[in-house]
Amino acid sequence: MTEAKLISTLNEENLSHFSKTYVPSRLLLGPGPSNAHPEVLNALSLNPIGHLDEAYISLMSDVQQLLRYTWQCSNRLTLPMSGTGSAAMEASIANFIEEGEKILIAKKGYFGDRLVDMATRYKAALSVIEKPWGEAFSYEEIKYEIETKKPAIFAIVHAETSSGVLQPLDGIGDICKKNNCLFLVDAVTSLGALELLIDEWNIDLAYSCSQKGLSCPPGLSPFTMNNRAEDKLSSRKTKVPNWYLDLSLLNKYWGSDRVYHHTAPVNMNFAIREGLRLIANEGLENVWKRHNTNAKKLWSGLESLGMELHVSKDYRLPTLTTVKIPPAVDGDGFRNHLLRNFGIEIGNGLGELSGKVWRIGLMGYNSSEDNVDRLLNLFDTELKKYSIFESSTF
């Protein structure tokens, strides 16, 4: 056997200079991810076991039960999909739309745009209604569009991370049901943090993520669907065009059969079980109250410092606040200053709000009074250093 010659883009001397992985300490108060709870990180670090091990299958059942509590639903098919929130978003389109079927998407921000993009890739007959970034739809507007357009699916983002809008959902599920239309809700920035009642609000399909309200790292996307959605899935005329996200296959693994589909991210499921357990121990209503209380403290504090918030109080999202960058302030400079000198991340605006707002997240483990106080103090003492004009005020 001849000696193999290894190829490297670095010379061998440089290869020996790599140190162990190091990550600086950060307080993530942006649009996500948020900091994972320490107990979640402990669970994540446990030794992995096989994804068909009896102990792991028992853990899968725990995760499903805890997710049903957090979703406030009794849906049989409730599971954490392997992948970030966009995976469950795409699964919601791939499984429930066949070529030429009508989907109505209510778009009021960046993630509404993403739903539109996915729907076109799966060749849906697309209808879109729009609102400016910072506004919400009224019940009457949505009712009219559903009754007029008669879509197979109506999709809307509950908590729009790009604009900071919390969309009221009351009554929409009833209208969808009366019009034989599935109600699809993006709950990426609301699950585990804000009031969300899947059964009571007649939501047929919903998806979220692990890295916000559930206080976990990114990597899983909780998903739930009710009997009406199951019936539509089982009556498809064509095969689901995405194998990895095919819920009829995933159902066999997460259902009673436990038939192998893909190698599950075992440690991420350890983590999400712990995150969901912590929510159950605190109690959902207490979790919702904590997020609302801390958000109101942040809003009040920012306004007392002369800052203007992008969204009116009626539709303001407690988990993600959009703050208008004062015209006299170097927005990127201040944001980078917080990160480099204080280890605190806040987000830039996204899409059409880029450079116009900062996005401040208070989600899951990070939604605390101490974090609000710390951030408000820095806005008070540090923001003036980033005024473009020395003598200017906000």
Strand 102-107 vs strand 347-348: parallel, antiparallel, or unpaired?
Answer: unpaired
The 10s digit of each residue's pLDDT in 240-259 is 999 999 999 998 888 777 78
How far is the CA of 247 from the CAs of 51, 79, 197, 231, in angstroms?
A: 18, 10, 22, 12
Q: What is the CATH number of domain 38-281?
A: 3.40.640.10
Q: Which residues of the chain have pLDDT under 50?
A: 390-393
| CA-to-CA separations, 233 to 29, 91, 173, 182, in angstroms, rounded | 38, 11, 19, 11
pLDDT digit string, tens, across residues 70-128: 999 999 999 999 999 999 999 999 999 999 999 999 999 999 999 999 999 999 999 99
- Answer yes or no: are the C-beta atoms of 101 and 124 closer than 8 Å: yes
Q: How far apart are CA 29 and CA 283, in angstroms?
A: 23
State the DSSP code for 329: B
C-beta separation of 112 from 87 below 8 A? no
Give the model's pLDDT for residue 394: 52
Asked whether the whole model's pTM tops 0.75, one would answer yes
How far, in Å, CA of 180 to CA of 361, rounded?
Answer: 36
Strand locations in the chain (E): 27-28, 77-82, 102-107, 125-130, 153-157, 159-160, 165-166, 182-186, 205-207, 220-225, 320-324, 344-345, 347-348, 357-361
- CATH, range 27-33+283-386: 3.90.1150.10
Please name which of 35, 44, 40 lies closest in space to residue 268, comparing C-alpha atoms: 44
Domain ranges in the chain are: 27-33+283-386, 38-281
Residues in the chain: 394
- 249 burial level (CB within 10 Å; 0-12, 13-18, 19+): middle
- Measure Cα distances from 108 to 113, 114, 147 in Å: 8, 11, 20
The CA distances from residue 145 to 176, 303, 339, in Å, are 11, 37, 44
Choose among 206, 254, 201, 196: nearest CA to 229. 206
Q: How far apart are the first and last CA of the chain?
A: 74
Is residue 365 within 8 A of residue 34, CB to CB? The reply is: yes
CA gap 342, 316 in Å, rounded: 27
Q: Would you call 347 helix, strand, or coil by DSSP? A: strand
Residue with tokens 């009642």: 197
Contact between 375 and 307 under an 8 Å Cβ cutoff? The reply is no
Angle between helix 284-304 and helix 369-382 axes, rounded to 10 deg: 10
Question: Looking at residue 392, what is its pLDDT?
Answer: 47
